[in-house]
């Protein structure tokens, strides 16, 4: 199955921002649950543990067979509209922002990675396309396991993201 890349690298306040969107015929609260509740997250990417009220949780990216947790700092959480996180993996820091907007029973999830390194976009872009498509499959009754990163995302989308980074 050939997939068309949807992500764009935009300039915002002088910084590159990777932006992808997905739409769901579902209420915003349901999509919010899919991106915040540990059991719903597990279906498409991984899970988290800890106490969100502390501003930090441990996230395990189970979709990659990884049992190593990474710290996620919760920078902003306004249910069911906005979730802004910072992923802490070693010295690396990734800002990850999710905004949900609902209109007439259709919810749009806008995912952004502010400050994305343009030289890494050819791998991070396809990676987020892959995970967001797994989210769509999990929420629409599709087969999450049928989504194949190596066949449909990487290296298939590298050229698109290389062009976006220019």
Domain chopping of the chain, boundaries: 9-165
Residue whose token pair is 């698109």: 160
| Reported confidence tier of residue 70, pLDDT bands at 50, 70, 90 | very high
* pLDDT score of 65: 80
* pLDDT score of 64: 79
- CB of 102 closer than 8 Å to CB of 110: no
Q: Which CATH superfamily is domain 9-165 in?
A: START domain (3.30.530.20)
Q: How far apart are CA 63 and CA 152, in angstroms?
A: 16
* pLDDT score of 63: 86
What counts of helices (H) and strands (E) characterise the chain? 5, 8
Contacts of 26 (CB under 8 A, 6+ apart): 105, 106, 107, 139
pTM of the model: 0.95
């Amino acid at each position: 199955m050939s997939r068309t890349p949807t992500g764009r690298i935009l300039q915002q306040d002088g910084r590159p921002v990777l932006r992808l969107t997905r739409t769901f015929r579902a209420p915003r609260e349901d999509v919010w649950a899919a991106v915040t509740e540990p059991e719903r997250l597990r279906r498409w990417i991984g899970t988290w543990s800890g106490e969100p009220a502390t501003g930090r949780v441990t996230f395990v990216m189970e979709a990659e067979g990884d049992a190593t947790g990474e710290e996620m700092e919760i920078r902003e959480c306004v249910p069911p509209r906005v979730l802004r996180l910072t992923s802490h993996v070693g010295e690396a820091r990734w800002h990850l922002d999710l905004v949900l907007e609902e209109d007439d029973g259709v919810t749009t999830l806008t995912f952004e990675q502010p400050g994305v390194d343009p030289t890494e976009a050819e791998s991070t872009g396809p990676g987020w396309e892959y995970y967001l498509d797994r989210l769509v499959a999990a929420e629409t009754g599709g087969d999450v396991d049928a989504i194949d990163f190596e066949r449909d995302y990487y290296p298939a989308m590298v050229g698109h993201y290389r062009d976006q980074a220019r």
